Amino acid sequence: MHYSYQISADQLLIIVTIRGEFTVEELISHSKRMLADPSFDTRYDGIVDMRKATANISKVELLGFADLLEQTGAFAIKTKWAFITTDPIVLTLTETYKNRLNQGEYAQAFSTAQAAADFLNNPEVLNYIG
């Protein structure tokens, strides 16, 4: 699994890229590192590019991951998060994740970067993920 993130204070945006097969343990490890980054700001919108990712994670594991993130309080402020994926399993897991965190209108899954940029109302997103 390849996981990277970038925090753009200029764009008030967090950009996460996940490639390859990923497990819940990897998501937890990398997410904790990102949340501990002094530049991480809970007021920033985020985009997660998973177009080249496949999930090796169960629904139960994902719900546990969502609970862990909820406990951190990092997503208590209703910022927008866009998830880009074309994998049906990743899409289903994304929907489960957003429902567990009660994100509804604040977290959406898309199949294109353009649709995600439109949702975030931030065309500069395309400069980061294209």
Domain that holds residue 67: 2-129
CA distance 46 to 103: 13
DSSP string, 76-128: -S---EEEE---HHHHHHHHHHHHHTT-GGGEEEESSHHHHHHHHT-TTHHHH
pTM score of the predicted model: 0.88
Residue type, 44: Y
| pLDDT digits 0-9 by tens, 67-89 | 887 788 776 677 888 999 988 87
Query: Tell me, what CATH number does 100's domain have?
Result: 3.30.750.24
10: three-class secondary structure by DSSP: coil
| pLDDT digits 0-9 by tens, 35-66 | 999 999 989 999 999 999 988 888 788 788 87
- What domain count does the chain have? 1
Contact 64, 29 (CB under 8 A): no
| Residue 103 confidence (pLDDT) | 60
Bridge partners, residue 22, by sequence: 55
CA distance 11 to 50: 21
| Residue 101 confidence (pLDDT) | 65
Strands (E), 11-90: 13-22, 45-55, 81-84
